[in-house]
Structure 1
Amino acid sequence: MGNSSRKEESQEEEKEEDGEKARVMEEERRKRKKKKEEEMEDEELPLGVEELLASGDPVLDLSYKKFRRLPGVVCGLHHLEKLYVCGNSLRTVPENIVKLKGLRILALDFNKIEDVPLAICELRNLTRLYLGSNRLVSFPPELRNLQNLRCLWMESNYFTRFPRQLYDLPHLRSLQMGDNRLRSLPPDLWRMEALRGLWLYGNRFTEFPRVLLRMVDLEILDLDKNKITVFPNLRRLPALRLFSYDGNPVEGPPGVGEEVLLVGEGAQEELEDRAYRKAKKEQEAKEREEALLAGEGPVIQGILKTARENSASYAGHKHNEEVPLTEEERRKKEMEAELERALNEYGAGLEYDLEGIEYDKEELIQEGDGFEEYEGQELEYERRDMDYEEGEVLEETGRQGRRH
């Protein structure tokens, strides 16, 4: 009885071992088959790809070539600076990609990548990394190796939490996280001080993330297609140039600076009102300028002429030069001398003439005051005009910055 039981157990163990061996063999067979397919893929490159690989161009675009893996020969192109492999069926990239030390731009959008390959995290000269429309849910800690990264696009993935590994990328300026599954942002997001553009459209926000109000250097903020019902006043973001809130259940735009471009419900009306206010202000300034020129012009010219004459006269005396007199000036001087002799003889009318001199002096002071006031107003108008032109340039910059 006991022998029979032990025999049955032994047979069961043998069956399990045989089954395990069969599974291992099957796994090995599949691996060999996969490797053979990959080798065939390397050999059977799509039409025109061989020419691209042999061109020596630092930019290589292999997008939409139906690759299931990156051709191994690509990792030997050490001169590459930009590599685009969008719209294929890649699940990973070969480890040998680390040999592309000079790579600055890597685009892997629209593939089937589930985890960021660690080899990518060793490309330390990357400045732009595009991982949109894959199957990512997280980043590896090694992502912080990309210290030169300035632009990261990771839209249309499956992130439910903000990846804190991004905090360790000191130069990251543009972060595209649209169409993920975020419900909130970490309260210390303000630590990303280099960030200038943040795209959060198509997530699951029901409230405006208050931490964004502390990110005073943000220039572009996109919160389209969320479920936010109330927006705070955004005038506390002085650098903001573009704010997009389209597709949220709100009736109108939040308060923003006059130079901010708006996209969303009620934005068109606000922008039209803003343009009207600006045009009206311009017209009023122009009318003030014309009024000042019409009312003060002759006085200014007279003062300037007098000032030039006095300056010339002073310069002549200073250098002991004889200033030749015109016929009119000579006659005037003779009349003044004759009047002085008469006053000396009779002493009459002296008080009257002194009063007249005081009056002339007072009139000149009044005219001088008017000139200074006009100059100040003209300078102020020119300064406003410069500010207006600068605002147009900043607004145009914000309009061009949006990409989605």
Structure 2
Amino acid sequence: MGSSSSKAEGEEEGKEGEGYDEDVPIPEKKPEPEPELPLGVEELLESGDPVLDLSYRKFKRLPTRVCRLTHLEKLYACGNGLRTVPDSMPQLTNLRTLALDFNKLDDIPLAVCQLVNLTRLYVGNNRLMTLPDELVNLQALRCLWLDANYFMHFPKLLYELPHLRCLQMAFNRLRSLPNDFTRMQNLKGIWLYGNRFETFPRVLLQMEGLEILDVDKNKITEFPSLKRLHNLHLFSYDHNPGVEAPPKVCEEVILVGEGAAEFMEEREARKERRRLKQEEKEALEAALAAEEPVIHGILKNSGAKANEDGELNTGDTTAAEEEEGDAEAQVVEYDEAELEYDEEGIEYETEELILCEGEGLEYKGEELQYEQEEMAYEYTEEQWEDMEKQQEGP
């Protein structure tokens, strides 16, 4: 102990002897020099284009110069081995899309969480296990890509992002979804392929707003009926063991998986048969509407009677009207409709067509059944391309 004290006193004396002054400020650490810009990047930075693509340029650090481009709306910096971003990034107040896929981020940088106008954030293929609390600042966020990270539990922090519509969490380590997942009722599409689900997350059956649901490449062996998901347009269940046929879905859902092609072919055949029946029904109705309304029931109710020679006598005809022998045909007015008939008698083209006062048109025979179909939902080529890009990342 004594030797230690002496050593400390000696060190203090040495500092005094060397003229050590505690009031002298410690020199600030010099900022690291800006990384050398790869060929062609200088022109991109000076272009004034609102879209800047710096992907796969071998940046270890993103140049701070980028953060002075306040006109930027989209910034792509994928595949650069980035571990963070410049602290000055919140200066990009017009930024709407930020892509940081295929880097080495252990967490989403706090500077990113200050980009309050972001609507799309791509941070897939990094090293994320959790999300920072500050992410709730991104209230305008609509699409979030967290695929190919290390999430073992669903991050409930996402409940606090009310405008989130698309969530990509493929190739993580999820085994289940929390029961209060229904708080994300505004979600339209969720990609869960390549996780570790062994049973279908039944909480998804309460997500009636879902339009796209992808559970490919899990370990699910059985699916419940998905008919309650009335807005579902695409359901993909491919590469799940033991599943040989698609689950029950609404009529227009596009299916991807084992047995889906045969199922949809048969469904299209049924739709075609119904379409043909509808055309037949419409053609029959048009033919009936074109026929002359020479109907016995109307004449009976009008008080008209036919004599033994087949001539029609009504109680309302006058002598003058009976003397008009040169008329080729006579007309009886009833309910503002003119009914023509031949002097030789009334011929009925069909005995199955009867219309009486107070009754509707009745056709004796087997009725044609027609089930009203909703308009089929079809993806355009651009929508398919966008969807594939969303699954693969930018």
TM-score by length of 2: 0.73
Q: Tell me if structure 1 keeps the 8 A contact 2:139–2:162.
A: yes
- Structure 2: distance between partners of 1:174 and 1:393: 19
Pairing 1:269–2:262 present = yes
In structure 2, do the counterparts of structure 1 residues 70 and 398 end up closer, same or farther at CA, with 3 Å as the change threshold? closer
Q: CA distance change for structure 1 residues 396 and 286 in 2, over 3 Å: closer, same or farther?
A: farther
Query: Which protein is richer in strand relative to its size?
Result: 2
Aligned AA for 2:224? P
* 8 A Cα contact 1:220 1:402, kept in partner: no
In the alignment, structure 1 segments of 5+ residues that lack a partner are: 16-27, 304-331, 340-355
Aligned pair partner of 2:175 in 183, 186, 194: 183
Counterparts of 1:10 and 1:264 in 2: how far apart (Å)? 80
For the Cα contact (< 8 Å) 1:244–1:263, is it kept in 2? Answer: yes
User: 1:259 offset after TM fit, Å?
Assistant: 0.7
Moved more, 280-289 or 44-53: 280-289
1:212 and 2:199 correspond: no
Q: Which residue of 2 aligns with 1:342?
A: none
What is the RMSD computed on CA atoms of the aligned residues? Answer: 3.7
Residues 1:141 and 2:126 aligned together: no
* Distance in 2 of aligned mates of 1:94 and 1:261: 44
Provide the rounded CA distance (Å) in 2 between the counterparts of 1:368 and 1:88. 81
Q: Post-superposition shift, 1:56?
A: 1.0
Does 2:3 correspond to 1:7?
yes
**Counterpart residue identity of residue 143, structure 1:** L
Amino acid paired to 2:3: K
Look up the SS of the partner of 2:70 in the other structure. coil
1:194 to 178, 186, 190: 186
> Are 2:329 and 1:336 aligned?
no
Decide whether aligned partners of structure 1 residues 247 and 9 sit closer, same or farther in structure 2, where only a CA change above 3 A counts: farther
Give the partner amino acid of 2:126. Answer: N
Deviation at 1:280, TM superposition (A): 1.1
Is the Cα–Cα contact under 8 Å of residues 166 and 188 in structure 2 kept in the other structure?
Answer: yes
Q: CA deviation at 1:102?
A: 1.1
Percent identity for Structure 1 against Structure 2:
56
C-alpha distance 168-8 of structure 1, shift in aligned 2 (>3 A): closer
Q: TM-score, normalised by structure 1?
A: 0.71
Work out the CA distance in 1 between the residues paired with 2:217 and 2:10. Answer: 60
Matched, 1:290 2:286: no
What displacement does 1:369 show? 6.2
Q: Which amino acid aligns with 1:224?
A: D
Flag the 1:77–1:163 CA change in 2: closer, same or farther, 3 A.
same
1:58-92, CA deviations, whole angstroms, 9 ceiling, x for partnerless residues?
11111111101110100111111111111111100
Q: 1:244 to 1:74 in 2, by over 3 A?
A: same
**What CA distance in whole angstroms lies between the structure 1 residues aligned with 2:59 and 2:380?**
42
In the alignment, what sits opposite 1:122?
114
Task: Report deviation, 1:168.
Answer: 0.4
Distance in structure 1 (CA, Å) of the matches to 2:319 and 2:379: 66
The total of aligned residue pairs comes to 326
Per-residue displacement from partner, 1:248-287 (whole Å, max 9, x unpaired)? 1112111111111111111111111101111111122223
1:391 aligns with 2:376: yes
Distance 1:151 1:261 in 2: 22
Corresponding residue of 2:20 = none
| Structure with the higher fraction of residues in helix conformation | 1
Q: Secondary structure at the match of 1:106?
A: strand
Alignment correspondent of 1:231: 223
